[in-house]
Amino acid sequence: MAKTSLIEGDVLVDVPSPQSGRARLRRGRSTDSGVRALRLPSGLPWILPSLVLCVGLIYYCVGYNGYISTLSWDGISANPPSVGYHNYTTGILHDPVFWGAIRHTAVFFVVTFVAQTFLGLLFAVLLHSKVKLGVVYKVIIFVPVMLAPAIMAPVFREMFSPPGQFNEVLHHLGLGFLSQPWIGQSSTALGVVAAITVWEWTGVNFVLYYAAIGQIDRSMIDAARIDGGGNIRVIVSIVWPSVRGTTFALATLSVIGALKTFDVPYLVTNTGPNDSTQFLGTYIYQMVVTLDHVGYAAALSIVLLVLSLVLAIALQVRSRRGKLT
């Protein structure tokens, strides 16, 4: 490669710049001060494609959303009337379905995050212990991550139906009195959606915790053992604080995941019964595709966008602050 592009004009220059100045200082101190400083080429052309693709497309969409959200528009007709803030003020603020979706998202996040964290950590700890056939267990826990929720949806619809396999298992366990139409009633449908999500995503928590635990200094654990710390004590006092960074990363992923939720409530429970599994994603979809309320959907999108940004930043700030103390 050196043959093709020997010393080019823009590579070797004398103009002092902050970078080249620093580079020259460093080199001067170490070995050969005779070599002229290399000025770094501009990186702008290199980052340009990413900016065009992401900033171009996404910021365009966000901006366009902002504009559409001030319209009363079906997405097709020319000259839609402007309604100013009304999609937000008289629309979203007083929309019981929207507030329901927010409530479901919050409940869903707490349930799935707690369950996935608990199970993921438990599996990670168990598989770091002396158990046989560890690989088999790992594969079983992780395979759901690989499978598309959309492909598994028919399976879950069948499984949780009144004559489905879930109720059957309850009968076999002597818990037949618990059997009920899990998907068909408002009181349990959200639970089913959460359970499916836990099934799908525990593998991620497990793999991350498994890797994080592998990095804990063994001598710390051995020392705790010598001091008489039992299994639970070691997990609570050493493992849990050591994987704190991973927990925050997973919390951020779960928050964003909860706000993004679409496939499972759309396909398994069809956002029902009575909007009991309505989420922001499914609601926006219905507004755009089924109901042609594109203006209102755009306003909902802006709210969703702000929520996910604010929550993600808040979690990041918290996780950084915790590290300092």
Beta-carbon contacts of 164 under 8 Å, excluding residues fewer than 6 positions away, are 158, 182
Specify whether the CB–CB gap between 119 and 206 falls below 8 A.
yes
Show the binding pattern over residues 168-197: x = contacts other proteins (CB under 8 A), - = does not: -x----------------------------
Site for other proteins in 85-114 (CB under 8 A): none
Specify whether the CB–CB gap between 166 and 188 falls below 8 A.
no
Assess 78 for contact with other proteins (CB under 8 A): no
Site for other proteins in 277-316 (CB under 8 A): 280-281, 284-285, 288-289, 294, 297-298, 301, 304-305, 308-309, 312
User: Of residues 158, 223, 317, 323, which one binds other proteins by CB under 8 A?
Assistant: 158
For other proteins, the closer of residues 165 and 186 by Cβ is: 165
Encoded tokens for 10 = 């823009």
Specify whether the CB–CB gap between 60 and 279 falls below 8 A.
no
Amino acid in the structure at residue 255: V
Stretch that binds other proteins, among 96-104, 138-146, 171-179, 186-194 (CB under 8 A): 138-146
Stretch that binds other proteins, among 2-10, 94-102, 103-111, 180-188 (CB under 8 A): 2-10
User: Of residues 83, 115, 183, 204, which one binds other proteins by CB under 8 A?
Assistant: 204
d(CA 223, CA 270): 53
Specify whether the CB–CB gap between 11 and 41 falls below 8 A.
yes
Site for other proteins in 17-76 (CB under 8 A): 17, 19, 23, 35, 38-47, 49-51, 53-55, 57-62, 64-65, 68, 75-76
d(CA 109, CA 120): 16
Beta-carbon contacts of 49 under 8 Å, excluding residues fewer than 6 positions away, are none
